[in-house]
Structure 1
């Protein structure tokens, strides 16, 4: 690699160079004064970003992960394929990206009806995920409020 054959040098006007240098100097000066006032650092906590998101989404514990696994039944893809005989679409697991075969054990989610290999979804849940890997809706419906 290198520069093109006809390349010699670039003529940049001195006024442009002086302007860029002055802007960099002003930027450093502003940053210096803000750091003296400790205003240049953002809070380490992300709670100020999306308070409504924190109310909805909380990390799941290993026990609730086991509860989610127990709530989602394991079936074979053959059962789902019989319901979808009209469709000629090739269904695949969105976690491992491989096609589903008739004998594969799968879990069908109750909220969004997406299907995944049982092992793939179990690993997803073991990584403290409580939403669908494909559409991000909750794996289980919210508890009924009385």
Structure 2
């Protein structure tokens, strides 16, 4: 038995969208003129800021920097000796980890990734291993 597919997308005709865009420009122009006359503050930009969804925390200590401080950075040669592996592929960037690269070893599962790759992984708010989904650090 098939499930009927329904889409609830509102499609506006192009003239209606152009009208709303025109109203936005008029609002911007009026705000700009009133700003120059000293009647109000500067107008908001017309283009949306893509960082609105980001969580802004004080620069001193963020959760990602706390996690990165607790994850050990080692040379790949040392990591390979301890884990008895000859080659390692970073599943984040999908490239080989060479002998001169720095590797971050995760606290729970002991998987290793390029330090820069796992740093970016943590910076976007992920707190699990990209390979096995175990938490990056042991729970206290």
TM-score interval, smaller chain: 0.5 to 0.7
* Residue in 1 that maps onto 2:65: 66
Three-state SS of the structure 1 residue aligned to 2:131 is coil
* Residue in 2 that maps onto 1:15: none
Relative to the length of structure 2, the TM-score reads 0.54
State whether structure 2 residue 101 is matched by structure 1 residue 113: no
* Residue in 1 that maps onto 2:74: 75
Three-state SS of the structure 2 residue aligned to 1:125 is helix
Q: Deviations over 1:70-96 (max 9, x none)?
A: 0001111010122244x55x3110100
The gaps in structure 1 that reach 5 residues or longer are 1-23, 25-58
Quick one: distance in 2 between partners of 1:140 and 1:121?
A: 13
Runs of 4 or more off by more than 6 Å in structure 1? Answer: none
Quick one: distance in 1 between partners of 2:133 and 2:106?
A: 11
| Counterpart among 109, 131, 134 of residue 131 in structure 2 | 134
Tell me if the contact between 2:88 and 2:97 (Cα under 8 Å) persists in the aligned partners.
yes
Q: Deviations over 1:114-145 (max 9, x none)?
A: 000000000000110000011111001111xx
Quick one: distance in 2 between partners of 1:69 and 1:84?
A: 21
| Counterpart among 89, 97, 102 of residue 94 in structure 2 | 97
Q: Deviations over 1:48-71 (max 9, x none)?
A: xxxxxxxxxxx9x77111100000
Aligned length: 83
Quick one: distance in 1 between partners of 2:120 and 2:77?
A: 22
For the aligned residue pairs, the C-alpha RMSD in angstroms reads: 2.2
Structure 1 or 2, whichever has the larger Rg, is: 1
Higher relative contact order (CA 8 A, sep 6+): 1
Quick one: distance in 2 between partners of 1:65 and 1:84?
A: 26
Quick one: distance in 1 between partners of 2:83 and 2:134?
A: 22
Quick one: distance in 2 between partners of 1:107 and 1:127?
A: 17
